[in-house]
Structure 1
Amino acid sequence: MTTGLLSISSVRLSPIQPHRELVHSPFRHAPTSPIICDRSALSGSEELLSKISVIISAYNNAPALRLTLLGYLRQDCTDFHLHIADDGSTADLKESITPLLEELNSAGIRTDHHWQEDRGFRKNIILNEAVRQCPESDLLIFTDGDCIPSRTFVSTHIDHHCSRSFHVAGAYRLTEAATSTLNEDSVRKGDHESLKEPDQIRDLQRRFRKSKWGTLLRRRHRPKILGLNMAFDRSLFEEINGFDEKFIGWGLGEDSDLRDRAMRLRPRPIVRNLYTMNDVFHQWHPVPPPRPRRELDTWEYYQKHRPVCCEAGLQQSPLEKKDHK
């Protein structure tokens, strides 16, 4: 086992059963994991676990994550479990968000912080681990730590969830100037929801149309998908064995690959196109210069024929993982 990481428990996983209904899941217990799961912020006795989990990816951007967490404090429902899937942030991030995690717990929202050692961009690995740690959840909502939700974000995903459903939605990409106007008080009041620029609205409308018609006409790479705002029925997510952990490095993988494999299933999943209906607010931050897709770290693997049920995914125990880590 990799040094410097904590093992949680040890349970053997049962074989994959493709195309199963939402009746039985082999993930009802967590496998041995070299990943830290911190429930220290929880208080009180063990409570009934939620059927909905919001999984937020994070890496070393505490100011943005704090604003995002404040967005979940103002949701119009609290019956969900919030998970931070942390790809190796320093201790400063945990220290910064702990008071907000405690505030969320006091508001009736369960929280967990899952952390793995920083060994490069390994987002898919920590996302799968977060899913393993919420075996009771039937709806998995994925978003990013720099994306502030609207007040109805969680409830809208819940309203559109059904067996084998797959939700796609987008984001208003805030400018540097717009992002600078936000602070913790303004997010608590919901001021970010007024920052919808006309060009952003038109872009989301275009994504809605492309996703709608592209899905109906069975076009490749449709519906359009963004990892910062998507959701899966758990039975569908398990049917394709979750995120493919062979995608190491920034680029393609956690969203496009998941969409591609899900849409190759027969029968096809039920696509919920929520562009313009349930979009998040992406905070501006510096990013590396864009690179052509063919130069991305994951391009070569993305071009290969990948099985619908990935080989290195949700069901693979971390102790059995090989060099793809």
Structure 2
Amino acid sequence: MNASVILSTYNAVEWLEKVLWGYSAQTYTDFEIVIADDGSRDETRQRIEELKALIAIPIVHVWHPDDGFQKTKILNKAILAARSDYLIFTDGDCVPRKDFVATHIQYREPGYFLSGGYFKLPMDISQAITKEDILQQNCFDLEWLKARGFKSNIKSLKLTAKGFGAKLLNALTPTKATWNGANASGWKADLLASNGFNEEMQYGGEDRELGERLMNMGLSSKQIRYSAICVHLDHARGYVSEEAWRKNDAIRAYTKANKLTKTPDGIKSV
């Protein structure tokens, strides 16, 4: 297969199911889904097994026991489990538009990684979105969202920009093309060369740190935030910690100051 979509999840079955329906509707289908499960309860495993029979895209479930926020560790295990040479990273709360995988495939290029973003939805609309809304792409229609109370803003251009307009916005946006965990992609060989994610890091910039090492390796980044579209379903963030942020900031500062290309606390082959 031509790509592996690696998506992270933790005890969010309803959101994960909506995301998987999004991948079932992709225009490009030569890919697999690798679910990086950071210790969810058995309910998640059971629902994934049920969905495997309903969704044509191959699904691999990579799990480890719950030990707090250990997303970097499970992502590294998912990288090793992925069977293709190109990896697309996202989260189990980001529903992809039908051209999401096709866009990553279109823009991929040796020597680069791709940097996308997401369009955040409020909780009431996140809950209201149904399987049919995803399959019919209603949740990517700004007028449909506005009819359900969404307040349009400048970020709505992510949903409405098409073709040349999207490319122009990609070029003009002041947002840097960093590695963003909800929407990024790169070559498996590059990720292995960097030793993957730094497993010492918890929530807060752990994705950016990987991208910074990739750039220290000589890679460049492409901005596709207006082309590769996913909508982000709302949720609480009980795992956010000021202590973790300070630790992660120190690690990123060390990576930058020493121009590290490889983390000593990364992928560990079994």
User: Residues of 2 paired with 1:230 and 1:286: CA distance?
Assistant: 22
Post-superposition shift, 1:296?
4.3
Retained in 1: the 8 A contact 2:52–2:59?
yes
**In the alignment, what sits opposite 2:164?**
none
**In the alignment, what sits opposite 1:127?**
75
Matched, 1:144 2:91: yes
Retained in 1: the 8 A contact 2:196–2:210?
yes
**In the alignment, what sits opposite 2:227?**
277
Post-superposition shift, 1:119?
0.5
User: Residues of 2 paired with 1:292 and 1:275: CA distance?
Assistant: 28
Residue type of the partner of 1:303? A
Retained in 2: the 8 A contact 1:147–1:282?
yes
Post-superposition shift, 1:94?
1.4
Q: Percent identity?
A: 28
Retained in 1: the 8 A contact 2:204–2:245?
no
Post-superposition shift, 1:202?
5.6
Post-superposition shift, 1:308?
1.1
User: Residues of 2 paired with 1:260 and 1:293: CA distance?
Assistant: 21
Distance 1:128 1:294, change over 3 A: closer
**In the alignment, what sits opposite 1:252?**
205
**In the alignment, what sits opposite 1:210?**
174
State the secondary structure of the residue aligned to 2:67.
coil
Return the TM-score normalized by structure 1.
Answer: 0.70
Distance 1:289 1:100, change over 3 A: closer
Q: Give the alignment's Cα RMSD to 1 decimal.
A: 2.5
**In the alignment, what sits opposite 2:107?**
160
* Paired residues, number: 250
Post-superposition shift, 1:288?
4.2
**In the alignment, what sits opposite 2:166?**
none
Aligned with residue 195 of structure 2, among 241, 260, 273: 241
Retained in 2: the 8 A contact 1:164–1:235?
no
Q: Output one character per residue of 1:135-173: Cα deviation in whole Å (capped at 9) or x when no partner.
A: x41110000000000000001101111223200000000
| Bigger fraction of residues in helix | 2
User: Residues of 1 paired with 2:211 and 2:141: CA distance?
Assistant: 31
Retained in 1: the 8 A contact 2:203–2:244?
no
**In the alignment, what sits opposite 1:177?**
124
Return the TM-score normalized by structure 2.
Answer: 0.84
Matched, 1:81 2:45: no
State the secondary structure of the residue aligned to 1:304.
helix
**In the alignment, what sits opposite 2:265?**
312
State the secondary structure of the residue aligned to 2:7.
strand
Residue type of the partner of 1:299? D
Residue type of the partner of 1:173? K
Runs of 5+ consecutive residues of structure 1 not aligned to the other structure: 1-49, 212-221, 319-325
Distance 1:270 1:250, change over 3 A: closer
Distance 1:174 1:165, change over 3 A: same
User: Residues of 2 paired with 1:208 and 1:123: CA distance?
Assistant: 32
User: Residues of 2 paired with 1:180 and 1:140: CA distance?
Assistant: 29
Q: Output one character per residue of 1:14-59: Cα deviation in whole Å (capped at 9) or x when no partner.
A: xxxxxxxxxxxxxxxxxxxxxxxxxxxxxxxxxxxx1310001010
**In the alignment, what sits opposite 1:98?**
49
**In the alignment, what sits opposite 2:62?**
114
